[in-house]
Every structure is written in structure tokens, then in C-alpha cells.
Amino acid sequence: MTTEMTNSYTTEQGSETVLADIAAMLVSILDEYGIDDIAVDRDTRFHDDLELESVDLVTLAGLLQERYGERVNLAEFIADLGLEEIIELTVGRLVDHVTDALSVAEVS
């Protein structure tokens, strides 16, 4: 599959598919800790609800890059946030970031 086809395919998925992708990634990360009964939705908070550690965010960043390529850079996204924003970061906000990044990549 060419890069153009991949870009077009992933961008057209929409936020619901991106949410499902990210939820699956988070479930796989949490499964490593024996946590398998967590529901992940747009309002789920990384810090308060999932209690993710920084190493887990690094793992998530790798999974996002593997799935979406260089277009989605979690480290850059988090670097632009303030401390309170990072603590309150929700899955929905990350989904919006990913969707926006994919849209920008397709337009470029």
C-alpha cells in the first residue's frame, strides 16, 4: 500500500475509529498490569482514571507512531501542554489531536 493510500485511508476513518484504535492501544498497555476490565471513552483521563505512568505514555507514543506514522507525535503534543492540562488530559483530547494531525497531513 502506498503512503498516499495509507494517508487517505487513516484520515477518512474519523474520530470514532481513532477512538477505537486508541482505546485498544490503552487496553493492551493496561493488560500488561493485569487490568483488563477498564472502559475507555472520550472522557477517560490518562492520569486520574487510567493512572498511566510516563513509561506508559512512551509506549502509547510508539503505538501511535506505528499505527499513524510520523504525522502523529505524542511527545510534541504533550510538550505544548501545561502541567494542569497534562494531568487533566482526556482520551477525547488525544483523539481530536490525532484526527487533526491526520487531516493536516492529508492537506499537505
Q: Domain span at residue 7?
A: 3-107
pTM, two decimals, is: 0.83
78 against 107, higher pLDDT: 78
| DSSP codes joined into one string, 46-83 | TTTTT---HHHHHHHHHHHHHHHGGG--HHHHHHTS-H
For residue 77, the domain's CATH number is: 1.10.1200
Phi, psi of 18, deg, nearest 5: -65, -40
The pLDDT, as a whole number, for residue 108 is 57
The pLDDT, as a whole number, for residue 81 is 95
The pLDDT, as a whole number, for residue 104 is 81
What is the number of structural domains in the chain? Answer: 1
The pLDDT tens digits of the residues spanning 42-99 come to 999 999 999 999 999 999 999 999 999 999 999 999 999 999 999 999 999 999 999 9
CA distance 20 to 18: 5
The pLDDT tens digits of the residues spanning 8-55 come to 444 445 899 999 999 999 999 999 888 888 899 999 999 999 999 999
The pLDDT, as a whole number, for residue 14 is 87
